[in-house]
Amino acid sequence: MNTLSVKSRTKTELIDITAEVQNIVHKTGVKEGMCFVYVPHTTAAVTINENADPSVRKDIVDEMNKIVPWDDNYAHMEGNSAAHIKATLFGATSAIPISKGRLSLGTWQGIYFCEFDGPRNREVLVQTVKSE
């Protein structure tokens, strides 16, 4: 298991971690298999989406903030229910095939750590599994 440290700078943001995850895959030496990315936080998530145009990230964040506003009379006493809801909608895990030592992402795809309760120092767990 490998741990990737992520430092978010704002309350809600998508941080491209594709290169860091690919670096971990390279270091493991796995040529064919799977890469599992897991976010062990209840107010953060992981997603795969377009990484060619940064405006896509902005659009996703803007729309999520409209769909799940920060202040909406939530019952959770800690005051961060919106972050918990967003993390649930996105999910804590992603699985990416590895082929020829590379993540098998589409041409325009990237892996994003999704911060919904920042800024914070976070961890992302990355596990590779070699195909038999």
* Confidence bin at 132 (pLDDT 50/70/90): confident
Q: Return the percentage of the chain with pLDDT > 70, whole number.
A: 100
CATH number at residue 77: 2.60.120.460
For the cut 80, the answer to whether the pLDDT of residue 3 exceeds it is yes
pTM of the complete model beyond 0.85: yes
DSSP state of 84: H
Name the residue range of residue 45's domain: 2-130
Instruction: Give the separation between CA 59 and CA 3, rounded to whole angstroms.
Output: 29
Task: State mean pLDDT over 99-116.
Answer: 97
For the cut 90, the answer to whether the pLDDT of residue 77 exceeds it is no
Instruction: Give the separation between CA 45 and CA 36, rounded to whole angstroms.
Output: 13
> Which residues lie across from 16 on neighbouring strands?
112
Task: State mean pLDDT over 1-10.
Answer: 97
Tens of pLDDT, residue by residue over 50-74, are 999 989 999 999 999 999 999 999 9
The chain-wide mean pLDDT, for the chain, equals 96
* Confidence bin at 7 (pLDDT 50/70/90): very high
As for how many domains the chain has, the answer is 1
Tens of pLDDT, residue by residue over 8-44, are 999 999 999 999 999 999 999 999 999 999 999 999 9
Q: Are 57 and 14 in contact (CB under 8 A)?
A: yes
Q: What is the pLDDT of residue 46?
A: 98
